[in-house]
Structure 1
Amino acid sequence: MNIKSLPPDVINLIAAGEVIDSLGAVVRELVENALDAGATRIVISLYPDLWWIQVADNGRGMSLEDLKRCSNAHSTSKIRSRDDLWNITSLGFRGEALHSIAQVAILEVASRFTIGHDAGWRVRYNAVGEAESLETAAIAPGTIVTVSNLFGNLPVRRKGLPPMTQQLKAIQTLIHHIALCHPHVTWCLEQNDRNWFNISPGKSALQILPQLLKRVHQNDLHLLIQTVETPALNDLQTNLPPMVEESKVELVIGLPDRCHRRRADWVKVAINGRMVRLPELEQSIFTAFARTLPRDRFPVCFVHVKTCPSHIDWNRHPAKTEIYLHSLAFWQEKIAQSIDEALKMNGDSLSDKASNHRVVKLLKASEEKSPYKVDPKPQTQTRHQDSIGLLDLQAVAQVRNTYIVAEHSNGLWLIEQHIAHERVLYEQLQDDWKIVFLDTPIVLNQLTSSQVEQLQRLGLEIEPFGEALWAVRSAPEMLSKRQDCSEALIELSWGGDLQTAQVATACRSAIRNGTTLSLAQMQSILDQWKRTRNPRTCPHGRPIFLSLEETSLARFFRRHWVIGKSHGI
């Protein structure tokens, strides 16, 4: 027998509450039990108007003895003692879900144990969770829980719930969240005996997320899994050499040049298999995506932290969505570092790796009829191969004095020179923002008091120089030698924080479109750009490059055709 009643000292420590307050709460509790039982396929059937829910799984099932006890108050197989509360590895642990359901609905459980049992049992429970009827059942291994007439004995509660459409939307969101955390599970949801939606299993959340978001493809996303060494919790407050525990961070991000949202609704954080609310970690994610997305757009990001259970206190909220996570600042830093790594440009973050160098020939074939400027001997240019795994890009041409054509081992890219250089300068300014004194002060007129205060906040030295005149004696180093420095200072005076000023400075200082560049100059821009922290977009969120991969070119030119067939043979 696995299910046992908890001792009183453990019950008193549990932050329990009324966990069944809606249709979604019933689904959540039953699904978590199914996952704890090792289920890989879960079918959820709903008749909302009848307040009827059924959850069937292919988990390991329950023995007859466990079926008789599972609906008793504080009865569980997940924990045994108070020490287990600090080492929770399951989704459920309080032992009150089925008991709470039995109090507000008609509860029936059919289950067949997977080991050594040829048949299962079906049990119906009374309002206090005691088994009142028992019969054999011919079912497949696993468990089927049926909840009917939910809140039938509490009609006032039914009236106080949100509209049914809102409750169904909450259930859909709940299953989406759980599916991201448990990508190996197949989900089938039915409503009024009709298919509602399905989620196919995958190896990671990378295969799940495109099934949840319309118009998002797997190529728009990037998966990064990193192992993180964390100090053992009992060593954090001692002077002893820390013991190291291995944790893992799984990160799926929407590439900022391809995928973003109008609302901040798809920044998700999961801890050890459960989606949680951790505003501090969510804010770290937003900060890590700063100046990579267009204005008023938000990232798509799912972070799943898998760490030692002793670092987590789940015993905070009945729904277990609010937790205490030890070493929160440590995880903020690690998640920010993981996002920075995922945003970098390297071979691992690009798909369809193949070896092909025929792109230059394609350009040369069109040279006489197009404005391409292809170097007669592009291979004489020294190819740059760096040692840190960055993509090897070779500048081969310039289109309309605006786009750099770059070849790599899997095709070619078009890079807009101005915004690529803008990204380079912006990150340089972030790392080394310098205010220098001007040899000759710049005199500005008709400044408002707010403009003067803004320049002073940016660290510039400014003082009155007469009636409605102001002398600016220092400026950002990147602007100080420019002929349009006075116009740039006026632009900076119109408001914004330091980051906004750095963006404006980089934008004004970057190479303009329409500027003719030599191959050496183009290569220099490429080498600097691909080493930036966020090379996919400019600080305003515009995409910097267009990828033309060899596989796409092969499909367009029908290179998979057999020559004989193409001639009608």
Structure 2
Amino acid sequence: MGRIKQLSKHLINQIAAGEVIERPASVVKELVENSVDAGATKISVEISNECRDIRVADNGSGIHPDDIMLAFSKHATSKITTDEDLFAIHTLGFRGEALSSIISIAKVTCTTRTKDFETGTKVKCENSEVKQVETGCAVGTIMEIRDLFYNIPARLKFLKNSNTEFSYIQELVQSIAIVNPMISFEVKRNGKTVLKTSGNNELKYALKEIFSSNVTDNLKEVLKTDNLSGMKISGYVSTPDFTRSSKKDYHIYINSRTVKCPVFQKAIDMAYKNLIAGGKYPFIVLNLELPPADVDVNVHPTKKEVRYKNTNMVFNFIMTAIQAGLSNYVEKDYSHSPLHNEQQPVFEDNSDERVVSFKPKTIDVFYNKSNDEVYVSDKVFEKVQGDLEQPSEQKQIFVPVKEKEPEPEENIVGQYKNTYILVEKEDGLEIIDQHIAEERYIYEKLKSEKNIVSQLLFISDVLTVTPSEAELI
């Protein structure tokens, strides 16, 4: 073990940069969020040189010439001043670590001007050294990053190929553009525009620009406000018949900040329970607004994780808001229906149709929507008539498999809610989901056919892709 030494300022910044700047997309995130906090209505992002050169320009408020040198110092920010401000954060950034971290791992040029000055200021930073000169420019800020990680070759080895790194950048800007429809965003790669929004303050129109009309045509609006708690949720969710194969299209925001929130995701899953098939996920764009004091965003360096003051209240608020938006698709809850509480016959006597009639002693079969289960008592049916003729032979649905040993005797006794087939067996009652049984029957039938009939489409099938997907193609 060597002697303890004080680390140099440059090395300290490089260590800190490792926490804040993970890849090129991390740089874009910090710079674009600064532009949003500056009140910009137009933000341009240009990427080149294998994603190692980045240019972010905005028409925001700019940086005061007296503050420009301080802006690149560690823990220098205009967004908070006291410790109480940490519990009332209204901006995307607040730590004052981004710029000082970036200049320690890249060559940076900042050109900025405020509306109070006729000339602007240009600052060049290299190896954590800052030089300032006057220059002419429009109101706003232009940040130019060159040779990212030029002095940390080891970090370059862990980066993925340029297409993958650019897809991270594109998805990041796309995520920020969704929750800021009032801002016009443009992303260019090697001079080619790959993403552009108009900034007309219409969320659904922005979604159409970013994704496609195929997405927006299958969305339902979600809007709910609770004045007592100060919570409000707004956005869009897809109909149950429009799904994705992953949660990649869960665009979740807390106070307009992109977050990864298990509570939020669980509320979405519960709201869509029994509405979509397993392994499928909806398209979600939701922004939850709540008092800053009720949520802690100062949990992770990237500010992607949050903690709530009242988790259960937030969970229920999100889930019920989504359910309200999907009211036309949510099935009725039968857990409090008369069938659940009263003794009623499941099958009616109809001797004309030569059907065996059964009557339960108590409530024998009922459907509980809350946990999606069918309950059956131990003693299900009793005969209410004397010796009756055997029921007429019912139409055979499946071709039985021939076995060496005879199959146990089975008898179909009825159907429940047009969903379940009740089969009486020697050892009890068997309940069959007829929809699943039909799917299995069709599957086995197709599987047994040697040649599957197919033909070319008469009309071409148009596949709509997002800008990020088109870039990969």
| Whole-angstrom distance in 2 between the partners of 1:88 and 1:214 | 34
TM-score scaled to structure 2, two decimals? Answer: 0.70
For 1:194, the equivalent position in structure 2 comes to: 192
For 1:278, the equivalent position in structure 2 comes to: 261
| Whole-angstrom distance in 1 between the partners of 2:244 and 2:222 | 21
Deviations 1:150-206 (A, max 9, x none): 100011110112222111111111111111111111011111122222122243432
Is the Cα contact below 8 Å between 1:464 and 1:470 reproduced in 2?
no
- Listed as ranges, the matches of 1:528-539 within 5 Å are none
For 2:102, the equivalent position in structure 1 comes to: 101
Distance 1:182 1:431, change over 3 A: farther
For 1:62, the equivalent position in structure 2 comes to: 63
Matched, 1:251 2:189: no
**% same residue:** 27
Letter in 1 for 2:19: E
| Whole-angstrom distance in 2 between the partners of 1:492 and 1:288 | 30
For 1:123, the equivalent position in structure 2 comes to: 123
**Between structures 1 and 2, the one with greater helix share:** 1
Indicate the SS of the match to 1:265. Answer: helix
Among 441, 460, 472, the alignment partner of 2:376 is 460
| Whole-angstrom distance in 2 between the partners of 1:461 and 1:200 | 62
CA offset at residue 320 of structure 1? 0.6
For 2:75, the equivalent position in structure 1 comes to: 74
- Listed as ranges, the matches of 1:79-478 within 5 Å are 79-114=80-115, 116-128=116-128, 130-131=129-130, 133-214=131-212, 216-231=214-229, 246-257=230-241, 259-294=242-277, 296-345=279-328, 427-429=332-334, 431-432=336-337, 434=340, 440=358, 458-462=374-378
For 2:398, the equivalent position in structure 1 comes to: none
Letter in 2 for 1:341: A
Is the Cα contact below 8 Å between 2:25 and 2:169 reproduced in 1?
yes
| Whole-angstrom distance in 2 between the partners of 1:330 and 1:69 | 42
| Whole-angstrom distance in 2 between the partners of 1:254 and 1:491 | 39
Letter in 1 for 2:93: G
| Whole-angstrom distance in 2 between the partners of 1:149 and 1:323 | 33
TM-score scaled to structure 1, two decimals? Answer: 0.59
* Unaligned stretches of 5+ residues in structure 2: 1-15, 347-356, 361-372, 382-406, 437-473
- Listed as ranges, the matches of 1:32-71 within 5 Å are 32-49=33-50, 51-71=52-72
Distance 1:119 1:491, change over 3 A: farther
CA offset at residue 464 of structure 1? 12
Letter in 2 for 1:261: R
- Listed as ranges, the matches of 1:543-562 within 5 Å are none
Letter in 2 for 1:81: T
Deviations 1:112-144 (A, max 9, x none): 012x2111010112433x42x222221110000
CA offset at residue 286 of structure 1? 1.7
CA offset at residue 213 of structure 1? 2.4
Is the Cα contact below 8 Å between 1:206 and 1:223 reproduced in 2?
no
| Whole-angstrom distance in 2 between the partners of 1:327 and 1:47 | 45
For 1:4, the equivalent position in structure 2 comes to: none
| Whole-angstrom distance in 1 between the partners of 2:132 and 2:380 | 92
Letter in 2 for 1:255: T
| Whole-angstrom distance in 2 between the partners of 1:55 and 1:254 | 33
| Whole-angstrom distance in 2 between the partners of 1:207 and 1:464 | 56
Is the Cα contact below 8 Å between 1:206 and 1:222 reproduced in 2?
no
| Whole-angstrom distance in 2 between the partners of 1:464 and 1:50 | 69
CA offset at residue 48 of structure 1? 3.5
Of 58-67 and 262-271, more deviation after overlay is shown by: 262-271
Is the Cα contact below 8 Å between 2:422 and 2:430 reproduced in 1?
no
Indicate the SS of the match to 1:46. Answer: strand
Indicate the SS of the match to 1:64. Answer: coil
Is the Cα contact below 8 Å between 1:16 and 1:318 reproduced in 2?
no
CA offset at residue 492 of structure 1? 6.3
Is the Cα contact below 8 Å between 2:75 and 2:95 reproduced in 1?
yes
Letter in 2 for 1:253: V
Distance 1:491 1:47, change over 3 A: farther
| Whole-angstrom distance in 2 between the partners of 1:458 and 1:215 | 40
CA offset at residue 430 of structure 1? 5.1
For 1:520, the equivalent position in structure 2 comes to: none
